[in-house]
Chain A
Amino acid sequence: MYLTVHNATKIYGNFTALDSVSIDIEQGEFVCLLGPSGCGKTTLLRLIAGLTELDGGDILLEGEALSDLPARKRGFGIVFQSYSLFPNMTVAENIGYGLKIRGASRSEISRRVNELLELVKLPRVADNFPGQLSGGQQQRIALARAIAVDPRVLLLDEPLSALDAKVRAELRGEIRHVQRSLGIPTLMVTHDQEEALALADKIICMNHGIVVQAGTPEDLYHRPQTRFVAQFMGISNLLPADAVQRAFPGLMATRPATAQDTHIACIRPEQIGMIPDPNGNATVRSISFLGNLRRLEVDSPAGPLVVETHGANPCREGDSVTLDIAPEACIWVADDMAPQPAKETA
């Protein structure tokens, strides 16, 4: 383990922002902290950065405790959502600031600054001030500034959230490229599941100050363990056992023996096959065309379902269809969002 967070706890007044959270980052790994706002992901990042103090637990870097080390002595790089470039310094001065503090020579700084400007594909802005750059350019400079000092860990706090969609996709690719080529262990906070799926080696999904599930992007998308993760990782059809029994009895065989009453079935919309059939027991209620795919709302005996299809679509609104779901497409997850009293009566 390169970076280990062990039972990290942070309490604000009577609000527990983080409740005994433990995570690991391997050397060279890209880890995403994913969750809705207020889930504690930014708090965890700030604890690791040393910008907030721990109320309990430990943070270890290669086995060495960091908890009492102030941020400026941790040797980490951080990129904020708000760019946070120093407005009074040029781009070159911004990137070279960390090296200047470490007493690097002027020539060394200038060599490194040019190298990094090449890396983030902005070779000609060295003498500009941050205010003269676009948001996307500023964020590239912020990235260059963070990696200029060869940080032991790179921390990214929603670095793409302030950018518009096209720039976001572009910069996403570049962050990935830079991180891969330098091999810096990286922890990124995001609330965007698509971003996390595209970038991460490992996703840590959080909610209400705890880790709900950690694993590869594939794991989290295809094998969610709870209803929260299933819903957060994209559109999913969530069906209680009795609805499955009623509409797709064949799928009941996939239900693990250990499943509790509160377990529900999760079926991704692209996993549902659809055949036009005048005698089908499901009806197409609405169709939205989204360019690369069509999203249909279908009334089925199990209740309303979302279905996504690619290519030509023979169906029209009001048509009857038959639905086809492969057994392996049906994942049973714990309903961690069910009202608490239901659990007690069970």
Chain B
Amino acid sequence: MSTTEQAVAPSRKQFDSDRLLTLACVGLPLLGLVLFFLYPMLIVFLRSVTVDDGYGLGNYTQVLGSVGFWRATWHSLVMGGATTLLSVFLGFIIAHGLYRCAFPGKWIIRAVIVLPLLAPSLVQALGLIFLLGRNGVISRALGVEIEIYGFWGLLIANTLYALPQAVMIIGAALVLLDARIYEAADVMGASPARQFRDLTLPAARFGILNAAFVCFTITITDFGNAAVIGGDYSVLATEIYSQVVGQRNFNMGAVVGIMLLLPTVISYAIERQAMKRQRSGQATGQVPFRPHFAPLRDTLMASLALLICAGIVAVIGIVVYASFVTLWPYNMALSTKHYDITLAGGYSSLRMTIVISVMAATGGTLAVFLLGLGLRRLPGTVAQPIQLLAAMPAAVPGMVLGLAYILTFNSTATPLYLLYGTATLIAIINFYHYHTQSFLTLMTGFRQLPQALEEAAGSLGAGLRRTATDIVAPFIAPMLVSVFFFLFMRSMVTLSAVVFLTTPDLSVAAVTIMRLDDAGLTSQAAAFSTCVMAVVCAALLGMKATLALIGRRNRTKGTA
């Protein structure tokens, strides 16, 4: 009995190291959120109301009075709406094919559909130029001149970019439908068409709504596609860029940023509500739906899904192909000469991006893990506002966050200035740009962790640190791995947030691709894109392998 007696001290109000540790777990990530999210956002707001003689709404009246702003706003809304309609429609077809129809080769669709996520958004635009541009394969084959720069090119590029999200969100809603409901409908004599109209569509409506808002947000905040293929079709994201980089007019950029924030915040708020509704409608112990082969339906759905996938493969594939063509479109012999990057710096930005991505992934995963761990031990009244704050960054477009950072960290007013121009700051902005998704992913893992496991460890004498490493981390390992690779892959390809933070000495891959394209070195841009995609693909395979390994180990332990 000696082992336990010494563990109990007789004093009453005694110091408990776990409380301090809990505070640190929550406090450090919270400090990060305040310094690297709330504070920069406050600065961007203050700058938008800064006029020559103090504060005022002068910038707003000036922006709101300009024709260019209204044209960009109108373009953004039209583009957002059109892309949303198209990508949700196509996304529904693919998701319905994947989860409600029976045909072989679904893995191909699953693999192809994620391709656009593996590349910087401007790769879709590059691919379209190689296909449909003045020297594009299709334009030349058909002998017609297609005007790809502008609305139509941007619409296709944006749709390809938003499509994976639409498929994943709508698919998640469709996969939840219980087979027994359909069996009951069959017994009652409802035809498949009726079942689709009366059961499938109503059940998927929150998924569709949610997908629509996500696609809309992605589209109006994307910068890469708009910069490469938008042409004269100016949108809000390119407007901010031209205000800040073109005219060095930071206050006006801040105003446009705040205006861009409005629709994304509203859209994000509605999306969160839609997600809640969908979750609450979820039943436990359901029987998964197994579709049976219906020749007409399945042949049609498979053809449509494969056709859309062929489009994605063509757009991404042509970029890889073009990177090996000696002189597009005149000398189609293959060579690797475009991989010899002639722009100053060469591949250094790719190496730097990998370093930055590892930093963002490591630091970010650790930060959200500590935050989630600490939040579990705080009373709900304290934890809820922090959770809300942690879920907020997703509402802020990358362009706006990037602008906020340059305004905050390029000012000598605070010691934070020391971070300006460092790789660390780029890693930090990448983490906070994707903070919401990382945090929410990990929280779903934490929700599956039974409270009793931690309590059992506690009653056996384990403190917070021991519980975290022995019990919690092994339990949510799959989520930690997912968050790590998610942050790594996003950091590899993101452009909008980092475009303002690169300096002549410090660039990232996506910015280099944009510069190569700007310089007319389109084939080198394709080559550089291919290298980025190779790294991201390797990361994706690494993630799949790690998760499969964990899954197999869990299965042998009987816990899967």
Contact = CB atoms under 8 A, between A and B. Distances in A.
Contact of A69 (B8, B554, B559): B8
Interface in A132-177: 132-133, 142, 145-146, 149-152, 155
Interface stretch (A26-34, A70-78, A210-218, A244-252): A70-78
A77 B459 contact: yes
A84 B14 contact: no
B456 A80 contact: yes
- The contact size tier of chain A is 35 or more
B470 interface: yes
B559 A149 contact: no
Interface residues of A, dominant DSSP: loop
A97 B456 CA distance: 10
A278 interface: no
A68 B12 contact: yes
Interface string B456-474: 1111111100100011001
A67 B474 CA distance: 32
Interface of A: 49-51, 64-65, 67-78, 80, 82, 84-89, 97-99, 101-102, 104, 129-133, 142, 145-146, 149-152, 155
Q: Which 8 A-B pairs have the closest CB atoms?
A: A131-B558, A129-B557, A98-B460, A75-B4, A88-B474, A84-B452, A131-B559, A87-B559
B558 A152 contact: no
Interface string B538-560: 00000000000000001011111
Nearest to A129: B557
Given A68-B12, A102-B7, A131-B558, A84 B456 contact: yes
A64 B5 CA distance: 13
Contacts of A67: 12
Interface centre among A64, A68, A78, A101 (most CB of B within 10 A): A101
A150 B16 contact: no
A101 B460 contact: yes
Interface in B86-119: none
Contacts of B415: none
A71 B7 contact: no
Contacts, number: 120
A54 to B, nearest CB: 13
Interface string B1-23: 10111011110111010100000
Nearest to A128: B558
Interface residues of B, number: 36
B456 A131 contact: no
A148 to B, nearest CB: 8
Contacts of B470: 86, 89, 97
A5 to B, nearest CB: 17
A72 B461 contact: yes
A284 B462 CA distance: 62
Given A51-B458, A78-B456, A129 B558 contact: yes
A150 B1 contact: yes
B456 A150 contact: no
Interface centre among B455, B460, B557, B558 (most CB of A within 10 A): B460
Contacts of B13: 68
B389 interface: no
Contacts of A152: 4-5, 8
B453 interface: yes
A302 B559 CA distance: 58
B558 A132 contact: yes
Contacts of A142: 456
Contact of A102 (B3, B450, B458): B3
B289 interface: no
